[in-house]
Amino acid sequence: MATIDPPLTPAYSDLRPVWNRFFTLNWKFALFLLLLICIPRFILVLNANATGSYGSIGAIMLISALVPFIFLSKKGQQKAGLVKPSNYYPLLLAFALGLMASLLLHYAAQALYGSGNENWYAYIGRSYNIPAGIGSNDKRTMFIIMAATGMLFSPIGEEFFFRGLVHTGFQQSWGSRKASLADGLAFSLVHLSHFGIVYLNNNWHFVPLPATLWVTGMFLTSLLFAYCKRLTHSIWGAVICHSAFNLGMIYCIFYLL
């Protein structure tokens, strides 16, 4: 069973020397980073849903992935889990768990909402612009491209940021269990911009119950990512689980809706 780490002892060497005069790696720093990254991201995703232009999302994921290396020293990066896994076999379990989680969310949405716009995968799938009547070969090619993108950019960007740097800041002050709850809450709320606040027929709508269920699903999934990080003693456990989740979600959008 994975252990829960105690709060970490603050150390100036966790941050790069240039930042030590301004910050300490603690909950305040973690909250500062959440506001710095997540507010612009939230706005950019909403704007992308309205305009259909998603280029800025890739940029924010790249920034999220780089932030730990900008702020953390080598020691701080190791503390955040930016190391090789201690054992590679648990990565297979992490992958399987991610796939299962994505399928559970799919079947829950299907059971509750069918394929309508209150189904979170159906709404997210609209952003993929899958042509009606697309041939099987073209559909397969489009799926491979979307799956490869979804398995790379957001898992690395989000896990390095949320389960890496942000988690470590909260963990310094509160311990690993509470830190996982805090970064999971932030992760789930920022996904309201992906579904919950929806853009339909040139108007914005809030769908309270589907949004609550979606955010709850994202929160529980974030706890799964955190578990996979502890399981592998590396951020790559969370990345692999997240990649598998995205693969499963994209498969559901292309072939099960």
Q: What is the mean pLDDT of residues 7-22?
A: 79
Whether the per-residue pLDDT at 49 is higher than 70: the answer is yes
Q: Which letter does DSSP use for residue 133 in this model?
A: T
Alpha helices by DSSP H, listed for 114-207, are 120-126, 136-158, 167-174, 176-190
- Proportion of the chain above pLDDT 70, given as a percent: 95
Q: What is the pLDDT of residue 65?
A: 97
Q: CA geometry: angle at 49 spanning 255 and 200, to 5°?
A: 85
CA distance 242 to 239: 5
Q: What's the pLDDT at 1? A: 46
Angle at 232 between CA 228 and CA 234, to 5 degrees: 95
The model's pLDDT over 182-206, given as tens digits with 9 standing for 90+, comes to: 999 999 999 999 999 999 999 999 9
Calculate what percentage of the chain has a pLDDT beyond 90.
89
More confident residue, 49 or 11: 49
The domain limits of the chain are 12-256
- With bands split at pLDDT 50, 70 and 90, how would you rate the model's confidence at 87? confident
Instruction: Report the pLDDT value the prediction gives residue 4, as an integer from 0 to 100.
Output: 52
Summarize pLDDT for 220-244 with one digit per residue, the tens: 999 999 999 999 999 999 999 999 9
User: Taking the CB of residue 129, how many other CB atoms lie within 10 A of it?
Assistant: 9
Query: What pLDDT digit, counting tens, does each position of 124-179 carry?
Result: 999 899 998 999 999 999 999 999 999 999 999 999 999 999 999 999 999 999 99
Structure tokens at 22: 């301004």
